[in-house]
Structures are given as structure tokens and as C-alpha cells.
């Protein structure tokens, strides 16, 4: 029966060779992909966009046409919507804490997609059209 070296030993035996190969590949990589200033540093020089103001009354002009909506679907939408908003709040806090980690942004996009789909099913067109 053959003896096998522990994985940690194999890794350390070949690490120097892998490091040397990677180091030797840097000039070729830089020739193919010249260095550019990181996008975040470039965006820091952009002027800040003004934050849009919202009316004091959150109710849009006119009325939402909910008379044709199924009350059961509306109830489900409200319950799920509250859960989605709580989850989105947590994701926003996570994003503020670690702006370079994009998992929270992807989750927020998924939450908005879910909220919009639920709104369409419940017949709340203005929310579905966000």
C-alpha cells in the first residue's frame, strides 16, 4: 500500500515553485493588462450628486387603484413586504459597514426584484414599475 504525504506537506513542497511561476508571469500579465487607476479612486474625484428631495407627503398624487386587487394577495404582499424591508435594512447596514463587499448590493437587488414581483401580483402597479 502506497504512503501518502499529508496535504500540508505537499502544499509547502510545491509552494515555492508556484510562487516563482506566478512571479515570472507578472510582466506578461502587465503587458496584456496595463495598470489603470482603480475605479474607486477615480470615482472619489467625481463631484457628489445632489440627494433628491422628496415631498413631505409620501402619498403620490392621485390614488392607488387597489379596488380591483385581491384582498388576500394584498395581505400577503404587505406581510412579505415588511419582511423584505427589514431584510433590506439589514443589508444596507452591512453595505455601509463594508462598502467594498458587494454581497449586500446583490441582495438588495434581489429584494427589490422580489418586492416588485409581489406588487405586480397584488395589483400595485406603481410599486411593480419601480
8 pLDDT higher than 70 = no
Alpha helix stretches (DSSP H) within the chain = 7-32, 39-44, 71-97, 103-122, 125-128
DSSP secondary structure code for residue 101 in this structure: -
115 pLDDT higher than 60 = yes
**pLDDT attached to residue 102:** 86
Q: Where are the domains of the chain?
A: 57-128
The predicted model scores a pTM of 0.48
2 pLDDT higher than 90 = no
Task: Read off the pLDDT of residues 50-94 as tens digits, 9 standing for 90 and up.
Answer: 777 766 655 556 566 665 778 888 889 899 999 999 999 999 999
- Calpha distance 43→28 (Å, rounded): 28
Instruction: Please provide the DSSP assignment of 47-70 as one string.
Output: PPPPPPP--S--SPSS----TTS-
**Distances in Å between the alpha carbon of 29 and those of 35, 56, 61?**
10, 54, 57
Who wins on pLDDT, 32 or 14? 32
Amino acid at each position: 500500500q502506497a504512503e501518502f504525504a499529508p496535504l500540508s506537506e505537499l502544499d509547502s513542497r510545491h509552494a515555492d515553485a508556484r510562487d516563482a511561476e506566478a512571479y515570472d508571469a507578472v510582466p506578461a500579465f502587465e503587458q496584456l493588462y496595463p495598470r489603470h487607476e482603480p475605479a474607486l479612486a477615480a470615482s472619489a474625484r467625481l463631484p457628489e450628486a445632489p440627494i433628491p428631495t422628496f415631498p413631505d407627503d409620501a402619498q403620490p398624487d392621485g390614488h392607488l387603484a387597489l379596488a380591483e386587487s385581491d384582498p388576500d394577495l394584498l395581505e400577503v404582499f404587505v406581510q412579505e413586504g415588511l419582511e423584505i424591508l427589514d431584510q433590506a435594512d439589514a443589508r444596507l447596514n452591512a453595505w455601509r459597514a463594508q462598502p467594498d463587499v458587494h454581497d449586500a448590493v446583490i441582495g438588495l437587488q434581489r429584494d427589490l426584484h422580489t418586492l416588485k414581483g409581489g406588487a405586480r401580483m397584488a395589483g400595485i402597479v406603481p410599486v411593480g414599475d419601480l
